[in-house]
Chain A
Amino acid sequence: MTTKYETVIGLEVHVQLNTESKIFCGCSTEFGKEPNENTCPVCLGLPGTLPVLNKKVVDYAIMAGLALNCDIAEYSKFDRKNYFYPDLPKAYQISQFDLPVAENGEIEIETEAGIFNIGVTRVHLEEDAGKLIHEGSIDKSKGSLVDYNRTGVPLIEIVSEPDMRTPAQAKAYLTELKMIMEYLDISDCNMEEGSLRCDANVSLRPVGQEEFGIKAELKNMNSFSAVEKGLEYEVKRQQGLLDEGKKVVQETRTWDESLNKTISMRGKEEAHDYRYFPEPDLVPLEIDAAWKEEMRKEIPELPREKYKRFIFELGLPEYDAGVLTGDKDLSVFFEEVLSDYDDPKNLSNWMMGEFLRLLNENSHSPFESGVSPINLAKMLKMIDQDIISGKIAKEVFEKMYNSGKDPETIVEEEGLKQISDQDELDNIVDAIIEDNPEAVEDVENGKERAIGFLVGQVMKETRGKANPGLVNQMLRDKLMN
Chain B
Amino acid sequence: MNIYDLTIHELKEKIAAGELTPAEIKKAYADRINEVEDRVKSYVTVTDELAEQDLAEYENKKEALLAGIPIAVKDNMSTDGIKTSCGSKMLENYNPPYNATVVEKLNAAGAVIMGKTNMDEFAMGSSTENSAFFDTHNPWNLNHAPGGSSGGSAAAVAAGECAAALGSDTGGSIRQPASYCGVVGLKPTYGMVSRYGLVAFASSLDQIGPITKDVEDSAILMNVIAGHDPKDSTSIAGQKEDYTKYLKEDVSGMKIGIPEEYFNLEFDEEVKASVLAAVEKLKEAGAEVETVHMTDASYALAAYYVIAPAEASSNLARYDGVRYGLRSEQAADVSEMFTNTRHEGFGDEVKRRIMIGTYALSSGYYDAYYLKAQKVRTLIKDDFDRIFNDFDLIITPTAPSTAIELGSKSDPLEMYHTDIFTVPINIAGVPAMSVPCGFDSSEMPIGLQLIGPHFGEGKIIQAAYTLEKLLNINEKRAEL
Interface residues of A (CB under 8 A from B): 41, 44-53, 80, 82, 84, 86, 89-92, 144, 146, 273, 275-277, 280-283
Residues of B contacting A50 in the complex (Cβ-Cβ under 8 angstroms) = 195-196, 231-234
Residues of B contacting A273 in the complex (Cβ-Cβ under 8 angstroms) = 362-363
Residues of A contacting B197 in the complex (Cβ-Cβ under 8 angstroms) = 48-49
Residues of A contacting B203 in the complex (Cβ-Cβ under 8 angstroms) = 280-281
B100-A90 in contact (CB<8A): no
A41-B97, A91-B320, A280-B203 known; A47-B84 Cβ under 8 A: yes
A275-B232 in contact (CB<8A): no
Answer whether residue B45 sits at the interface, using C-beta atoms and an 8 A cutoff.
no
User: Which of A46, A84, A275, A277 is close to B98, meaning CB atoms less than 8 Å apart?
Assistant: A46
Residues of A contacting B204 in the complex (Cβ-Cβ under 8 angstroms) = 280
A82 to B311 Cα, complex, angstroms: 11
B230-A52 in contact (CB<8A): yes
B366-A277 in contact (CB<8A): yes
Answer whether residue B299 sits at the interface, using C-beta atoms and an 8 A cutoff.
no
Answer whether residue B338 sits at the interface, using C-beta atoms and an 8 A cutoff.
yes
- Within residues 191 to 221 of chain B, which ones have a CB less than 8 A from any CB in chain A? 195-200, 202-204
Answer whether residue B461 sits at the interface, using C-beta atoms and an 8 A cutoff.
no
Beta-carbon nearest neighbor of A52 in chain B: B233
A47 to B338 Cα, complex, angstroms: 17
15 further interface pairs, Cβ-Cβ under 8 Å (given A82-B313, A89-B322, A277-B311): A46-B96, A47-B91, A47-B199, A48-B78, A48-B84, A48-B197, A50-B231, A50-B233, A51-B233, A80-B314, A82-B317, A89-B323, A91-B320, A92-B317, A275-B363
A46-B361 in contact (CB<8A): no
A89-B318 in contact (CB<8A): yes
Q: Which has the most chain B C-beta neighbours within 10 Å: A51, A80, A273, A277?
A: A277
- Within residues 58 to 99 of chain B, which ones have a CB less than 8 A from any CB in chain A? 76-78, 84, 86, 91, 94, 96-98
Answer whether residue B358 sits at the interface, using C-beta atoms and an 8 A cutoff.
yes
Residues of B contacting A80 in the complex (Cβ-Cβ under 8 angstroms) = 314
Q: Taking the nearest CB of chain B, how far is it from the CB of A87, in angstroms?
A: 9
A48-B314 in contact (CB<8A): no
A46 to B100 Cα, complex, angstroms: 12
Q: Taking the nearest CB of chain A, how far is it from the CB of B428, in angstroms?
A: 15
A437 to B22 Cα, complex, angstroms: 119
A86 to B234 Cα, complex, angstroms: 28
Beta-carbon nearest neighbor of A51 in chain B: B233
A389 to B370 Cα, complex, angstroms: 78
Beta-carbon nearest neighbor of A92 in chain B: B314
Answer whether residue B310 sits at the interface, using C-beta atoms and an 8 A cutoff.
yes
A277 to B315 Cα, complex, angstroms: 12
Residues of A contacting B314 in the complex (Cβ-Cβ under 8 angstroms) = 80, 82, 91-92, 275, 277
Residues of B contacting A91 in the complex (Cβ-Cβ under 8 angstroms) = 314, 317-318, 320
Beta-carbon nearest neighbor of B232 in chain A: A50
Answer whether residue B334 sits at the interface, using C-beta atoms and an 8 A cutoff.
yes
The 10 closest A-B pairs by CB, nearest first: A91-B317, A275-B361, A280-B203, A280-B204, A47-B199, A48-B197, A48-B78, A48-B199, A273-B363, A86-B322
A53 to B231 Cα, complex, angstroms: 10
Interface residues of B (CB under 8 A from A): 76-78, 84, 86, 91, 94, 96-98, 100, 195-200, 202-204, 230-234, 310-311, 313-314, 317-318, 320, 322-324, 334-335, 338, 358, 361-363, 366, 370
A46-B317 in contact (CB<8A): no
A82-B361 in contact (CB<8A): yes
Residues of B contacting A280 in the complex (Cβ-Cβ under 8 angstroms) = 202-204, 234, 311
Dominant SS at the A interface? loop
Q: Taking the nearest CB of chain A, how far is it from the CB of B230, in angstroms?
A: 7
Beta-carbon nearest neighbor of A40 in chain B: B98
User: Which of B76, B198, B231, B318 is close to A45, meaning CB atoms less than 8 Å apart?
Assistant: B318
A415 to B79 Cα, complex, angstroms: 77
Q: Taking the nearest CB of chain B, how far is it from the CB of A51, in angstroms?
A: 7
Beta-carbon nearest neighbor of A25 in chain B: B231
A90-B318, A280-B203 known; A48-B363 Cβ under 8 A: no
Q: Taking the nearest CB of chain B, how far is it from the CB of A2, in angstroms?
A: 39
A90 to B234 Cα, complex, angstroms: 19
B338-A84 in contact (CB<8A): yes
What are 6 inter-chain pairs, A to B, with CB distance below 8 A?
Answer: A41-B96, A48-B198, A48-B199, A52-B230, A91-B314, A280-B311
Beta-carbon nearest neighbor of A273 in chain B: B363
A281-B233 in contact (CB<8A): yes
Residues of A contacting B323 in the complex (Cβ-Cβ under 8 angstroms) = 44-45, 89
Residues of A contacting B94 in the complex (Cβ-Cβ under 8 angstroms) = 47
A48-B233 in contact (CB<8A): no
A74 to B202 Cα, complex, angstroms: 28
Q: Which has the most chain B C-beta neighbours within 10 Å: A48, A273, A276, A281?
A: A48
Residues of A contacting B338 in the complex (Cβ-Cβ under 8 angstroms) = 84
A48 to B338 Cα, complex, angstroms: 20
A80 to B203 Cα, complex, angstroms: 12
B195-A41 in contact (CB<8A): no
A41-B96, A280-B311, A283-B234 known; A49-B196 Cβ under 8 A: yes
Q: Taking the nearest CB of chain B, how far is it from the CB of A458, in angstroms?
A: 78
Residues of A contacting B232 in the complex (Cβ-Cβ under 8 angstroms) = 50, 52
Residues of B contacting A46 in the complex (Cβ-Cβ under 8 angstroms) = 78, 96-98, 324
Residues of A contacting B231 in the complex (Cβ-Cβ under 8 angstroms) = 50, 52
Q: Taking the nearest CB of chain B, how far is it from the CB of A450, in angstroms?
A: 83
Q: Taking the nearest CB of chain A, how far is it from the CB of B358, in angstroms?
A: 7
Residues of B contacting A283 in the complex (Cβ-Cβ under 8 angstroms) = 233-234
Q: Taking the nearest CB of chain B, how far is it from the CB of A37, in angstroms?
A: 15
Q: Taking the nearest CB of chain B, how far is it from the CB of A344, in angstroms?
A: 51
Q: Which has the most chain A C-beta neighbours within 10 Å: B86, B195, B311, B314?
A: B314
A46-B324, A50-B231, A280-B203 known; A86-B334 Cβ under 8 A: yes
A90 to B314 Cα, complex, angstroms: 8
Residues of A contacting B370 in the complex (Cβ-Cβ under 8 angstroms) = 277
Q: Which has the most chain B C-beta neighbours within 10 Å: A49, A80, A82, A90?
A: A49
A144 to B337 Cα, complex, angstroms: 13
B96-A281 in contact (CB<8A): no
A80 to B312 Cα, complex, angstroms: 12
User: Which of A44, A48, A53 is close to B100, meaning CB atoms less than 8 Å apart?
Assistant: A48
Residues of A contacting B86 in the complex (Cβ-Cβ under 8 angstroms) = 47
Q: Taking the nearest CB of chain A, how far is it from the CB of B193, in angstroms?
A: 13
Beta-carbon nearest neighbor of B206 in chain A: A280
Q: Taking the nearest CB of chain A, how far is it from the CB of B337, in angstroms?
A: 9
Residues of A contacting B200 in the complex (Cβ-Cβ under 8 angstroms) = 47-48, 281
Residues of B contacting A41 in the complex (Cβ-Cβ under 8 angstroms) = 96-98
A82 to B320 Cα, complex, angstroms: 13
A47-B96, A80-B314, A92-B314 known; A275-B358 Cβ under 8 A: yes
A84-B320 in contact (CB<8A): yes
Beta-carbon nearest neighbor of B322 in chain A: A86
Beta-carbon nearest neighbor of A272 in chain B: B363
Q: Taking the nearest CB of chain B, how far is it from the CB of A57, in angstroms?
A: 14
Residues of A contacting B366 in the complex (Cβ-Cβ under 8 angstroms) = 275, 277
Residues of A contacting B310 in the complex (Cβ-Cβ under 8 angstroms) = 277
Q: Taking the nearest CB of chain B, how far is it from the CB of A197, in angstroms?
A: 23
